[in-house]
């Protein structure tokens, strides 16, 4: 890091002018001073501060502002803690996290735990964790939000806004698909324009583009959370939605050419199940006609038996 760059970055953090990229850069900088991927050496703080002092021109900066060291030290301690996680991701873009054909567990700077499903991404707003806790989601993620009554946690996804203080919940909102919010514990407010619903534990809301459709699920149900264990569970899901999830699950594009029907899919699939086996089972049940390659699945025809 160039001379004075780190000093300027810390000043922006202390004065609450830091962007999400600033936080990501400093988080990455601290992470690079760790001795292992999941632990911090006892002298890491001293070594980082020595470099801060050296790059910012030495102790003259500290003596000119007596309280500066304490503020910066507090920031360092908080950010070091933010880098020590079960599964840490340090985003090179500072506030942009994404997955391809894999799941990822992330600890955000405010302490919130996020598990991202396949082909999903989140983008943090500037000042996330300092002046706000706003972010955008595309795809699906399970959240364990760290409680902070001064900074509500807000997710925007497919024009649906989810606001919480602290809770555990799942948001399913891939592009061009209807959004589904399922609450495991706590309370969540879901809104779209002038429509708002409040969900508590074991409640969920499906947004069809115009209205929220609320329903309940059993406390021990894992239907909405099975993807974290590598499974797909369908409780009478419309066929077109089910086949879209199956295609995404196997990292293959879908070309749906069949007419829409009222066919419902009920069952469960494991990540180890071969796509060909799944399609053969669906073909038997729904008179399904299809073809697929390594990268594309074409649905030609189906009918409910």
pLDDT at 162 over 80: yes
pLDDT, position 27: 61
Between 181 and 209, the more confident residue is: 181
Neighbouring residues of 287: CB distance < 8 A, sequence distance ≥ 6: 301, 302, 303, 305
Which of 169, 187, 216 corresponds to the end of one domain?
Answer: 216
User: Do 266 and 157 lie in a common domain?
Assistant: no
Q: How far apart are the first and last CA of the chain?
A: 65
Residues 43 and 111 in one domain: no
Token pair belonging to 110: 């405010």
Q: Please say if the pLDDT value at position 151 is more than 70.
A: yes
**Tens digits of residue pLDDT in 202-212:** 999 988 888 89
- Asked if the model's pLDDT at residue 172 lies above 90, the reply is yes
| Euclidean distance between CA atoms 291 and 296, whole angstroms | 8
Average confidence (pLDDT) over 181-195: 92
Residue percentage of the chain with pLDDT more than 70: 69
Asked whether residue 221 is assigned to any structural domain, the reply reads: no
Burial 8-31 (b: 16+ CB within 10 A, else e): ebbbebeeeebbbbbbbbbbebbb
Q: Which domain holds residue 12?
A: 5-83
Over residues 30-35, the mean pLDDT reads 50
Tell me how many domains the chain contains. Answer: 3
Report yes or no on 252 lying in a domain: yes
Indicate whether 103 and 206 sit together in one domain.
Answer: yes
DSSP-assigned states of every residue in 282-295: HHHHHT-EEEE-SS
Domain harbouring 121, CATH code:
2.60.120.1440
- Which comes out higher in pLDDT, residue 208 or 119? 119
| Same structural domain, 46 and 114 | no
* 212 CB neighbour count, 10 Å cutoff: 19
Q: Which of 17, 51, 83 is the last residue before a domain boundary?
A: 83
The answer on 207 and 104 residing in a single domain is yes
- Does the residue 90 lie in any domain? no
Residues 198 and 152 placed together within one structural domain of the fold: yes
Own/partner long-range contacts of 300-305 (Cβ < 8 Å, ≥24 apart) = 300/257, 300/258, 301/258, 302/239, 302/258, 302/261, 302/263, 303/261, 303/263, 304/261, 304/262, 304/263
Identify the pLDDT of residue 3.
Answer: 44
pLDDT of residue 209: 80
**What residue has token string 């501060």?**
49
Residue 2: per-residue pLDDT: 52
pLDDT in tens, 128-143: 999 999 999 999 999 9
pLDDT on residue 128: 93
Write down the residue that tokens 């301690």 correspond to: 77
Range from 47-51, 115-119, 234-238 that averages highest in pLDDT:
115-119
Q: Flag whether 222 is in a domain.
A: no
Question: Would residue 225 count as lying in a domain?
Answer: no
pLDDT at 47: 52
20: confidence class by pLDDT, cuts 50, 70, 90: low
pTM over 0.75: no
196 in any annotated domain = yes
Interval 221-254: pLDDT, tens: 667 888 998 888 887 888 988 899 999 988 999 9
Beta pairing class for 168-173 and 179-185: antiparallel
Which helix (DSSP H) or strand (DSSP E) does residue 230 occupy?
none
Same domain, 196 and 235: no
Task: Please check whether residues 75 and 171 belong to one and the same domain.
Answer: no
- Least Cα distance to 288 among 227, 246, 234 occurs for 246
Residue 8 or residue 32, greater confidence? 8
Is 223 inside any structural domain? no
pLDDT level of residue 21 (50, 70, 90 thresholds):
low
Of the ranges 113-122, 182-191, 270-279, which one carries the lowest mean pLDDT score?
A: 270-279
CATH number at residue 259: 3.55.50.30
281, 272 in Cβ contact below 8 A?
A: no
Output the average pLDDT for the chain. Answer: 77
In a domain, 31, yes or no: yes
- Could you write out the DSSP letters of every residue in 104-167? EEEE-TTS-EEEE-TT-EEEEPTTBTTTBEEEEEEEEEEEEPPP-TTS-EEEEETTEEEEESS-
Please report which confidence band the pLDDT of residue 30 belongs to, taking 50, 70 and 90 as the band edges.
low
Tell me: pLDDT of 73 over 60.
no
**Which tens digits make up the pLDDT trace of 264-303?**
988 888 878 899 999 998 888 888 899 998 899 999 988 8
């Amino acid at each position: 890091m160039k001379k004075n760059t780190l000093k300027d970055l810390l000043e922006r953090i202390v004065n609450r002018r830091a962007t999400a990229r600033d936080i990501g850069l400093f988080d990455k900088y601290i992470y690079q001073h760790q001795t292992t991927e999941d632990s911090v050496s006892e002298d890491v703080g001293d070594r980082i501060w020595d470099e801060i002092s050296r790059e910012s021109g030495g102790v003259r900066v500290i003596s000119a502002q007596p309280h500066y060291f304490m503020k910066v030290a507090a920031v360092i301690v908080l950010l070091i803690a933010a880098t020590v996680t079960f599964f840490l991701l340090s985003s090179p873009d500072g506030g942009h996290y994404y997955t391809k054909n894999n799941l990822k567990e992330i600890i955000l700077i405010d302490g919130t735990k996020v598990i991202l499903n396949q082909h999903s991404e989140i983008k943090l707003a500037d000042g996330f964790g300092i002046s706000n806790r706003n972010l955008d989601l595309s795809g699906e993620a399970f959240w364990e939000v760290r409680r902070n009554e001064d900074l509500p946690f807000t997710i925007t996804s497919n024009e649906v806004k989810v606001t919480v203080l602290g809770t555990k919940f799942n948001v399913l909102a891939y592009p061009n698909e209807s959004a589904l919010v399922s609450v495991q514990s706590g309370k969540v407010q879901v809104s779209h324009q002038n429509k708002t619903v409040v969900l508590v534990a074991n409640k969920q809301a499906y947004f069809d583009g115009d209205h929220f459709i609320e329903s309940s699920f059993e406390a021990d149900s894992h239907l909405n959370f099975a993807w974290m264990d590598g499974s797909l569970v369908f409780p009478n899901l419309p066929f077109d939605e089910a086949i879209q999830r199956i295609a995404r699950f196997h990292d293959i594009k879908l070309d749906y050419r069949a007419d829409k029907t009222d066919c419902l899919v009920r069952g469960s699939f494991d990540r180890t199940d071969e796509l060909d086996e799944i399609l053969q089972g669906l073909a038997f049940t729904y008179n399904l006609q299809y073809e697929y390659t390594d990268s594309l699945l074409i649905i030609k025809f189906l009918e409910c038996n």
